[in-house]
Amino acid sequence: MLLFVAAGVLLALVAGAAMAAQSAASGPVDPPPEFAQLRQQYEGLTPEQVVAAGYIPDEGGCIPNPEGAGAMGTHAINGEHLTAQFPNGTMDPTTPPVLLLGESGEVIGLEWEAKDVGQGPMQLFGQTIQIQPGHPGVEEPHYMLHGYFEPNGQVLWGNDPQTA
């Protein structure tokens, strides 16, 4: 009997630690060096530099969050990067296919998308990316990672249907 009680306590402690780690991961965190380098490359771009880099801002403007408060920003898409990655179900960490733009056209984050080709959950920058339901613009289920620039060099990840 004591063994079952001890096992139950241990299981509760492990579950509690996992929930605490999950809660901590839902806020801004320090990014891995590879993402920090990308941030330095894209964060200060002007709208003209965004276009010169091959990214075309979506005419539809800022994309609202269908689940409630907040929004994803205006998407600026590099068709060459998207075509090289999405249909193959891959995400190249060095070439984001989408820049996320704020109200003034400033880059506020980066986004990767990949078609579901049966690869299962994907990994990028230490994030596990779950399958996303289709949405306007990408009607089929797919994988998507958003990395929003936060103060103090931190990043806010969106890697599942609730956070993306």
Query: What's the length of the chain?
Result: 164
121 burial class (0-12, 13-18, 19+ CB within 10 angstroms)?
exposed
Residues sharing a CB contact under 8 Å with residue 122, sequence separation 6 or more, in sequence order:
91, 114, 128, 129, 143, 145
> Using CA atoms, how far apart are residues 90 and 85, in angstroms rounded to an integer?
5
> Using CA atoms, how far apart are residues 128 and 107, in angstroms rounded to an integer?
24
Q: For residue 24, how many C-alpha atoms fall within 13 Å in the half-sphere facing its CB?
A: 8
Residue 162 in tokens: 């609730």
Answer whether 0.75 is exceeded by the pTM: yes
pLDDT in single tens digits along all 164 residues of the chain: 333 333 333 333 333 333 333 333 479 999 999 999 999 999 989 999 999 999 999 775 445 444 443 445 689 999 999 999 999 999 999 999 999 998 888 999 999 999 999 999 999 999 999 999 887 778 899 999 999 999 999 999 998 766 66
Which of 162, 133, 127 minimizes the C-alpha distance to 145? 127
> Using CA atoms, how far apart are residues 75 and 59, in angstroms rounded to an integer?
9
